[in-house]
């Protein structure tokens, strides 16, 4: 019998925050694609960037990831996606949003990473 199958799933405040950070990252990448590029490339990047990030997240980082990675690989995928979202705000001329998002994402990621290693 699998001992993990009998344990209830616990969702804490950081898990909820991380979910909203993921959604905000995908939104940020889409907004960047539409704002930073001229037509017709704005449609390509506005739709393609968040779709690419969602696929990466689903393949490597989600709780039911298709491809299992060690915690360092998961962290790398998360850093790339969250860092890209923060950089997108810098490119759009919103450094305060980029800094606040980056700081919150780093703190949440560190808390989550410590939980994975324990």
Query: Which of 4-8, 19-23, 71-75 comes out lowest in average pLDDT?
Result: 4-8
Comparing CA positions, the residue from 81, 107, 94 lying closest to residue 29 is: 81
Residue 5 is predicted with a pLDDT of: 60
Q: Greater confidence, 1 or 36? A: 36
pTM over 0.85: yes
Whole-angstrom Cα Rg for the chain: 16
Cα angle value 18/24/28 (rounded, 5°): 145
């Amino acid at each position: 019998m699998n001992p993990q199958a009998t344990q209830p799933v616990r969702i804490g405040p950081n898990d909820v925050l991380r979910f909203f950070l993921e959604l905000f990252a995908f939104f940020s990448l889409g907004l960047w694609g539409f704002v930073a590029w001229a037509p017709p490339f704005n449609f390509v990047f506005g739709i393609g960037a968040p779709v690419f990030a969602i696929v990466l997240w689903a393949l490597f980082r989600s709780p039911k990831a298709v491809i299992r990675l060690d915690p360092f690989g998961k962290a790398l995928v998360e850093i790339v996606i969250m860092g890209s979202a923060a950089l997108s705000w810098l490119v759009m001329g919103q450094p305060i949003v980029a800094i606040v998002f980056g700081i919150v994402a780093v703190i949440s990621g560190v808390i989550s990473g410590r939980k994975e290693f324990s």
